[in-house]
């Protein structure tokens, strides 16, 4: 226990959840002496202090900067999404001191956000070791996993004894606190394997080192695309993943914190792509680029929307004779879209698994068809009863007419839900087979296809049942 306060997701029964950020702001706006103010601030977690920065004006942030030493301030700013902005507010010497204590990935990110002249000035003031690490990470493109790795790791030679590894661990732990995995290298720096800290602690002095070295251990290459790496290592529960250069030498690691952030970033990007965007947009992105991402899919959807409007126009006779059926059109279209989106989300997750073969994908299609059939049957029967009673009791329609209209809605719901389940599963698989990114293309396309299916099934059955069979 380090004495720091932690924020619980839910309050203890009978207590109120404290607003730590507000408390921190109140402390900084108070009249305590610097010593007592600092002591109080250090009782809070660095993340809470980082979030409180967003609630402070420039004067309040300046007071905080003066109260905290460079090491503590680096820990605080490491949690902030506005690291570059806050770093620029510091005096030049403190900027250097904070940069030197940041995780190397955070330091590189902060430097990239600065203008060229400021970046050059700060870089020249850093230590040789820090500059070398920054050059290493900066040598990789932002889309390569090497740009995200940390140099916070412990590595030992393969020819050491267990006692020798323990000595190296103690010696390196002062500079690198990522100690749960110790990486073993040969004389050329090539990765041999990894040692779990627990296995090292319980090993006897005479235990051969190779007996506790995990030679089968996941790794990535520094020049691999981030997305490909995340998909491959997402299922591993390791505390860190080694990053190798082209010669299989260890050059960095992906810590658990980095992995968590990468997975989160990937999920956010996938969400944006489901909306028809090529990647997540931000406020700084140029207007023309944002338009270029969205416009192609909007044009496609416009064409499909005109097709749907044309199909609706074919059923003008139905609408003219029985205008009330228009009231339930949105119900059918909305349910079809919801079901298609659910099936799409499940399918995209399966397609992301490179081990899923043709048989597993066929099983998924069959499963989604059965789910769609069951849901369509249940919702169809429910809509038949509820819409029929609604028209009969509240709209004072004749029972025969009321339940005829509800029957059209029920059948259309069943058909559209069943086919939407199929479309939400089969279309992304088809796109993948055609080498079209299913995450980008499937979302807007499936939504419009489901609308088309729902319109045709709803008005088509109404035309058959109400106008031709019952002649209402």
Question: Among 90, 119, 142, where does a domain finish?
Answer: 142
Can you give the pLDDT at residue 283? 45
The three-state secondary structure class of 17 is coil
- Of the ranges 168-172, 272-276, 327-331, the best mean pLDDT one: 168-172
Determine the length of the chain.
472
Quick check: 396 pLDDT over 70?
Answer: yes
Mean pLDDT, residues 105-125: 85
Confidence of residue 182 (pLDDT cuts 50, 70, 90): very high
Q: For residue range 444-461, what is the model confidence (pLDDT) as tens digits?
A: 677 777 788 888 888 888
Has residue 26 been placed in a domain?
A: yes
Which of 100-104, 112-116, 197-201, 332-336 ranks highest by mean pLDDT? 197-201
Residue 37 or residue 239, greater confidence = 37
Q: Is the pLDDT of residue 423 over 70?
A: yes
446 lies in some domain: yes
346-365 pLDDT tens trace:
777 666 655 556 677 788 88
Query: Is residue 95 pLDDT above 80, yes or no?
Result: yes
| pLDDT at residue 14 greater than cutoff 50 | no
Q: Which two tokens stand for residue 124?
A: 């020249």
Query: Are 121 and 246 in a shared domain?
Result: no
Q: For residue 64, give both structure tokens.
A: 């905080």
Question: Would you say residue 320 lies in a domain?
Answer: yes
CATH value at residue 127: 1.25.60.10
Average pLDDT, the chain: 81
Among the candidates 274, 307, 340, a domain finishes at 274
Residue 1 lies in a domain: no
Q: Quick check: 281 pLDDT over 80? A: no
Expressed as residue numbers, the domain containing 308 is 287-469
The pLDDT assigned to 290 comes to 64
Asked if residue 282 is part of any domain, the answer here is no
**302 plus 411 within the same structural domain:** yes
Asked if residue 119 and residue 223 are part of one domain, the reply reads no
Residue pair 311/329 in contact by the 8 Å Cβ criterion: no
The CATH number linked to 375 is 1.10.357.20
Q: What per-residue string of b and e applies to 401-426 under the rule 16 or more CB within 10 Å gives b?
A: bbbbbbbbbbbbbbbbbbbbbbbbbb
Pair (38, 102) in one structural domain: yes
Examine the domain organization and report whether 307 and 256 are in the same domain: no
Q: What is the mean pLDDT of residues 172-200?
A: 89
Residue 324 lies in a domain: yes
With respect to residue 256, please indicate whether it lies within any of the assigned structural domains. yes
Q: Is residue 10 part of a domain?
A: no
């Amino acid at each position: 226990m380090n004495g720091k306060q932690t924020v619980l997701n839910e309050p203890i029964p009978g207590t109120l959840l404290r607003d730590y950020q507000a408390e921190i702001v109140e402390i900084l706006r108070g009249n305590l002496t610097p010593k007592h103010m600092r002591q109080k601030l250090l009782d809070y977690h660095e993340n809470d202090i980082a979030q409180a920065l967003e609630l402070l004006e420039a004067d309040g942030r300046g007071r905080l900067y003066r109260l905290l030493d460079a090491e503590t301030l680096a820990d605080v700013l490491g949690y902030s999404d506005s690291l570059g902005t806050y770093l620029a507010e510091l005096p030049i010497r403190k900027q250097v001191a904070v940069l030197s204590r940041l995780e190397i990935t955070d330091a590189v990110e902060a430097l990239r956000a600065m203008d060229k002249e400021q970046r050059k000035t700060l870089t020249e003031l850093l230590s040789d070791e820090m500059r070398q690490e920054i050059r290493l990470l900066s040598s990789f493109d932002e889309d390569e996993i090497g740009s995200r790795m940390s140099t916070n790791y412990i590595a030992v030679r393969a020819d050491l004894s267990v006692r020798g590894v323990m000595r190296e661990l103690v010696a390196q732990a002062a500079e690198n606190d990522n100690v749960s995995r110790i990486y073993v290298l040969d004389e050329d720096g090539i990765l041999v394997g990894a040692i779990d800290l627990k296995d090292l602690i319980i090993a006897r002095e005479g235990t051969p080192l190779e007996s506790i070295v995990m030679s089968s251990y996941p790794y990535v290459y520094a020049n691999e695309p981030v997305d490909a790496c995340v998909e491959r290592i997402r299922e591993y529960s390791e505390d860190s993943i080694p990053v190798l250069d082209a010669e299989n030498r260890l050059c960095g690691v992906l810590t658990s914190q980095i992995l968590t952030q990468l997975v989160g970033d990937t999920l956010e990007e996938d969400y944006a792509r489901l909306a028809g965007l090529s990647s997540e947009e931000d406020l700084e992105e140029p207007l023309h680029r944002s338009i270029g991402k969205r416009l192609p899919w909007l044009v496609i959807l416009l064409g499909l929307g005109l097709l749907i409007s044309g199909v609706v126009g074919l059923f003008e006779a139905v609408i003219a004779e029985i205008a009330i059926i228009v009231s339930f059109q949105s119900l059918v279209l909305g349910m079809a879209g919801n079901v298609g989106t659910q099936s799409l989300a499940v399918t995209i997750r399966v397609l992301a698994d490179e081990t899923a073969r043709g048989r597993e994908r066929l099983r998924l299609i069959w499963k989604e068809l059965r789910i769609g059939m069951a849901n369509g049957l249940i919702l169809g029967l429910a809509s038949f009863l509820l819409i029929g009673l609604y028209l009969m009791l509240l709209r004072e329609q004749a029972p025969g007419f009321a339940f005829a209209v509800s029957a059209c809605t029920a059948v259309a719901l069943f058909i559209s839900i069943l086919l939407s389940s199929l479309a939400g599963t089969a279309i992304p698989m088809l796109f993948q087979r055609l080498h079209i990114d299913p995450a980008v293309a499937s979302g807007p396309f499936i939504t419009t296809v489901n609308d088309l299916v729902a319109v045709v099934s709803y008005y088509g059955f109404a035309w058959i049942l109400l106008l031709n069979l019952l002649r209402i």
